[in-house]
């Protein structure tokens, strides 16, 4: 009998990771964050709490670094629960020999991202381990926010429109290109950014029924997870999905699907049909939402399908794990 060992795929955000996590946890709602019921605080909103470990390789990439990623990753998990990000804690594990100037630069990036939202770093921890294969540094950020109305992945209803706040695949392909040493023209850049302003703008003008940040496993994972939890299907229009030409080209060269790789500055929303145009307009007024688009609708059923550019229809399956490992 051979001992079962953890593989890189178990940490890649797909079905294998879900199975692993479900094997060790009890009654955790696997959403982007947890809603805290604090008896001492009965009114005024819901506290939301989340955590994310960041092990992106390389830790500096076009468009950002692990500091900005760690701030945005956790703030975005709060935002897609409907919560304004208020407080962040950051725990660093780094290898002995890590350059101090890089460590300081990473914190500057982290603070700059927090400042874009008005979120405060309030707690931290620092550990150093012997040199090895951590690629230098890992940042685990945890966040607390407050939601007036909590958004769950399970909120989609047939008839809702699916809106994405901008182009897809930018982060995953920028990190992969940087790691492999490919230079594309125009260069690929990560989209890493805080999405709270987008979520807030959408909630201010319309009924948002569900929200998710399409990180590991990309849009394909996010939509399949939302559909499964909501017990609905989703029908996408391929032509409506915003993609940068250079991302599409890089995806072809690198052999990946831009819908399967991580985004770090985008949000996927389910929006009541009657409010879809108002939400779209509100998103497009923001710099981060200039390329927002309605990409499909929620239907009865249990599958995510896509009407392709050439008029066919295909299933959009979640990847087993993100095809680009160590992307966040």
- For residue 83, give both structure tokens: 């919560």
Q: Which residue in the set 69, 72, 85, 98 belongs to the binding site for a copy of itself (CB under 8 A)?
A: 98
Of residues 7 and 309, the one with the C-beta less far from a copy of itself: 7
Contact flags string 50-89 toward a copy of itself, x per CB under 8 A: xxxxxx------------------------------xx-x
Of residues 45 and 187, the one with the C-beta less far from a copy of itself: 45
Residues between 298 and 327 that touch a copy of itself (CB under 8 A): 325-326
Q: Which residue in the set 79, 80, 117, 142 belongs to the binding site for a copy of itself (CB under 8 A)?
A: 142
Question: Residue 234 in contact with residue 304, Cβ under 8 Å?
Answer: yes
Say which residues have a Cβ less than 8 Å from residue 189's Cβ, sequence separation at least 6: 62, 63, 170, 174
- For residue 46, give both structure tokens: 């819901």
Question: Residue 194 in contact with residue 264, Cβ under 8 Å?
Answer: no
| In the complex, minimum distance from the CB of residue 325 to a copy of itself, in angstroms, rounded to a whole number | 8
Burial class (CB in 10 A: 0-12, 13-18, 19+), 18: middle
Of residues 112 and 253, the one with the C-beta less far from a copy of itself: 112
Of residues 131 and 309, the one with the C-beta less far from a copy of itself: 131
d(CA 272, CA 269): 10
Of residues 136 and 289, the one with the C-beta less far from a copy of itself: 136
Report which DSSP code applies to 248: H
Of residues 3 and 300, the one with the C-beta less far from a copy of itself: 3
Question: Residue 152 in contact with residue 31, Cβ under 8 Å?
Answer: yes
254 binds a copy of itself (CB under 8 A): no
| In the complex, minimum distance from the CB of residue 234 to a copy of itself, in angstroms, rounded to a whole number | 25
Residues between 7 and 46 that touch a copy of itself (CB under 8 A): 7-12, 17, 20-21, 23-26, 28, 33-34, 36, 38, 40-45
Calculate Rg over the CA atoms of the chain: 19
Of residues 125 and 204, the one with the C-beta less far from a copy of itself: 125
- Longest Cα–Cα distance of the chain, Å, equals 60
Residues between 99 and 138 that touch a copy of itself (CB under 8 A): 99-101, 103-104, 107-108, 111, 121-135, 138
Identify the H or E element spanning 309.
none
Comparing C-alpha atoms, which of 229, 73, 236, 57 is closest to residue 162? Answer: 236
């Amino acid at each position: 009998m051979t001992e079962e060992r953890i593989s890189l795929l178990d940490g890649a955000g797909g079905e294998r990771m879900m199975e692993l996590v479900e094997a060790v946890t009890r009654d955790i709602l696997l959403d982007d964050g947890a809603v805290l019921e604090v008896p001492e605080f009965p009114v005024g909103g819901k506290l939301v709490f989340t955590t994310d470990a960041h092990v992106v390789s390389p830790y500096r990439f076009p468009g950002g670094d692990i500091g900005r990623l760690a701030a945005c990753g956790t703030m975005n998990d709060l935002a897609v629960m409907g919560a304004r990000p208020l407080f962040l804690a950051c725990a660093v594990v780094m290898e002995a020999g890590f350059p101090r100037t890089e460590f300081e630069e990473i914190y500057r990036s982290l603070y700059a991202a927090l400042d874009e939202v008005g979120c405060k770093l309030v707690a931290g921890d620092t550990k150093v381990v012997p040199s090895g294969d951590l690629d230098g540094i890992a940042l685990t950020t945890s966040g607390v926010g407050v939601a007036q109305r909590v958004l769950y992945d399970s909120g989609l209803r047939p008839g809702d429109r699916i809106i994405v706040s901008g182009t897809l695949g930018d982060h995953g392909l920028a990190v992969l290109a940087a790691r492999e040493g490919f230079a594309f023209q125009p260069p690929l850049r990560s989209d890493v950014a805080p999405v709270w302003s987008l979520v807030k703008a959408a909630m201010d003008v319309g009924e948002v029924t569900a929200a998710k940040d399409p990180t590991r496993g990309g849009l394909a994972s996010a939509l399949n997870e939302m559909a499964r939890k909501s017990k609905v299907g989703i029908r996408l229009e391929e032509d409506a999905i915003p993609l940068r030409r250079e991302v599409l080209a890089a995806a072809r060269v690198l052999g990946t699907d831009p819908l399967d790789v991580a985004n770090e500055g985008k949000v996927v929303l389910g929006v009541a049909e009657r409010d879809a145009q108002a939400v779209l307009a509100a998103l497009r007024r923001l710099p981060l939402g200039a390329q927002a688009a309605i990409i499909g609708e929620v239907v009865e059923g249990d599958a995510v399908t896509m009407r392709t550019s050439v008029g066919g229809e295909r299933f959009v399956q979640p990847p087993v794990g993100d095809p680009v490992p160590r992307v966040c």
